[in-house]
Amino acid sequence: MKLARRQALVALGALAFARPALARAAPDLALYRAIRDEGLKRGRAMTYATSLTDRIGARLMGSPNMRRAYDWALARLRELGLSDPRLEPIGPFGLSWRQVRAWARMTEPGDAALAAVAAPWSVATEGTVQAEVIAVRLDTDQDLQRAEGRLGGKIVLLGSPKTASTADPAVVRYTDEQVLKGDAAEAVRAYYRTVADRRARQGREGLFKARRNAFLAAEGVAAVVLDGGGGEPGVMTVDGSDLGGRPWLAAERPVFPALYLGHEAYARCWRLAEGGAPPRLALEIVTEEGDPAEPGYNVVAELPGTDPALKSQVVLAGAHLDSWAAGAGAADNGAGVGAILEAVRILRALDLKPRRTIRVVLYGGEEQGLYGSEAYARQRLGHIPRSTAPEQLALSVEGRRAKVGPLVKGPEYEDFSVAFNLDGGSGRIRGVFTGENPALAALYRDWIAPLSDLGVLAVYDGPHWPADQSTFTEIGLPGISFLQDPLDYDSRAHHTNLDTLERLSPDDLAQAATVLAIFLINSANADVRAPRPGL
């Protein structure tokens, strides 16, 4: 885009998101240039992401790979020269588990190898299971009643085949107009317009899935097979959400083996069963299990502040270290981890001395419900008591449960400044979500003005998708997330077998880390603590 056109678009964006002005210092353009030069020309974000995802791979919470990831992260933080790299406990997590192997074959009416992955924390089979397939829709309690007595000894295809999406392009980049007009954030706004009804429905669904799991166990099924499709053809989504509950807790996980098949194989088996010629499958799940109460951790270290009056205040740079089990956890969230480490490396390479302390926190257990950020906040900053009603406990994320009490502040609440969270794949940063914090949004519009040529064009005064930053906004503190170009995060990467290094864009990741470094040092060196949203 020509410079004049870009400047016109930036002016349009400023009008679209205008707020009352505050007395603010102008950005330090010399500092911006130095950070950009270091991050864009000598960046190492992709090096960090490659090391984590290729050498360790998937990092399912509680698994041996997650323990390796803790050690990896501590080593990287030491290399960066940060202060006191350490593991901070988040409490007992759940079952230590890993898949050793999982496979499936169709043996009748013809022989065919099928793409298969064990559902996370599935029980193992006792050797090879061979049985006839039955296709069932179990979406209501009435469905359970109708199916009673029919499923014993069968391999159950649970639910109609999902619809593979071919309508949208696999790789998506926002146009400048979409970012500036707010179109790129419309899906987020739509989510929050229906969030109350959505959470109520999710609670009811969680309770039903628990009843369905108990029914399947009582029926004595040989195994349950799930459709891994629903996204782009050939992609297998594997996160266990189809069965619901908290399968990482030994007392709550299904007692039957559960396996995901690729969509095409699942759909073929379903058609055969529905057509009156049910196939026979042979399958096996071999697992390794350990501590039923495996401890979880956050990985934490600091770049200490230098201003005696401000160094007790914390600017937090966060990303989650864990992933699901089927891919290598590259876009979700090796990219965020790599960008966080790179942002701190940039600051160290330039020998910048932050006035406030910059704290790196690589969370554990994000994928199962923001365990790491919730524990960090509860131990240090504060918490709001949540409902313990059954339908509320059935929600997948603790922070989504209804509030039933006032905020209980922790010892570091008043000294906390702001938490940044990067968890949207490797796409370049296009905008900033400030979580309904007009004063902070106004400040950030000044900060992004020199970054328009990098594509950072808008500040949205509202919440982003629920993620680790939500933990902080829920207790009245600034929690910041970024609008990133999606690339193929939604179509190929999110919780899939294809979440590998091929999903990452090195140039985009370098831009994201550079922008994050600017936000970190600006926040650490501002004269005042980040403005806070209202409770």
Q: How far apart are CA 377 and CA 471, in angstroms?
A: 7
Residue 223 β-bridge partners: 155
Confidence label for 167 from pLDDT (cuts 50, 70 and 90): low
Q: How far apart are CA 241 and CA 37, in angstroms?
A: 43
Residue 470 φ/ψ, nearest 5 degrees: -65, -30
Residue 296 φ/ψ, nearest 5 degrees: -110, 160
Query: What would the pLDDT profile of 350-374 be if each residue is shown by its tens digit?
Result: 999 999 999 999 999 999 999 999 9
Give the SS3 label for residue 52: helix
Q: Which two tokens stand for residue 193?
A: 């317009």
Residue 259 β-bridge partners: 118, 225
Contact, 60 vs 287, CB < 8 A? no
Domain regions of the chain by residue span? 3-94+293-364+416-455+468-473+481-525, 97-170+208-289
Fold of 3-94+293-364+416-455+468-473+481-525: Aminopeptidase (3.40.630)
Q: What is the mean pLDDT of the chain?
A: 93
pLDDT for 4 beyond 80? no
Query: What would the pLDDT profile of 254-292 be if each residue is shown by its tens digit?
Result: 999 999 999 999 999 999 999 999 999 999 999 999 999
CA-nearest of 437, 444, 424, 441 to 523 is: 444
Averaged pLDDT for residues 89-97: 96
pLDDT for 68 beyond 50? yes
DSSP state of 487: B
Q: Which two tokens stand for residue 280?
A: 């026979």
| Per-residue pLDDT at 20 | 39
Q: How far apart are CA 185 and CA 175, in angstroms?
A: 12
| Per-residue pLDDT at 11 | 38
H/E element holding 482?
strand 479-484
Phi and psi based region of residue 208 (left: phi greater than 0; alpha: psi -120 to 50; beta: remaining): alpha
Contact, 399 vs 470, CB < 8 A? yes
Q: Which two tokens stand for residue 530?
A: 């980040």
pLDDT for 18 beyond 50? no
More confident call, 386 vs 150: 150
Averaged pLDDT for residues 380-391: 92
pLDDT for 10 beyond 80? no
| DSSP collapsed to 3 states, 169-227 | CCCECCCHHHHHHCHHHHHHHHHHHCHHHHHHHHHHHHHHHHHHHHHHHHHCCCEEEEE
Q: Which two tokens stand for residue 194?
A: 């229906």
Contact, 385 vs 404, CB < 8 A? yes
pLDDT for 7 beyond 50? no
| Per-residue pLDDT at 402 | 86
- Strands, E, within 262-415: which ranges? 280-289, 294-303, 314-320, 357-363, 382-383, 408-409
Q: How far apart are CA 357 and CA 302, in angstroms?
A: 7
Averaged pLDDT for residues 94-118: 96
Query: What would the pLDDT profile of 307-343 be if each residue is shown by its tens digit?
Result: 999 999 999 999 999 999 999 999 999 999 999 999 9
Q: Which two tokens stand for residue 133?
A: 């397939």
Give the SS3 label for residue 289: strand
The fraction of the chain above a pLDDT of 90, given in percent, is: 85
Q: How far apart are CA 370 and CA 365, in angstroms?
A: 6
The architecture that CATH gives domain 97-170+208-289 is 3-Layer(bba) Sandwich (3.50)
Cβ-count burial of 462 within 10 angstroms (0-12 exposed, 13-18 middle, 19+ buried)?
Answer: middle
Contact, 102 vs 116, CB < 8 A? yes
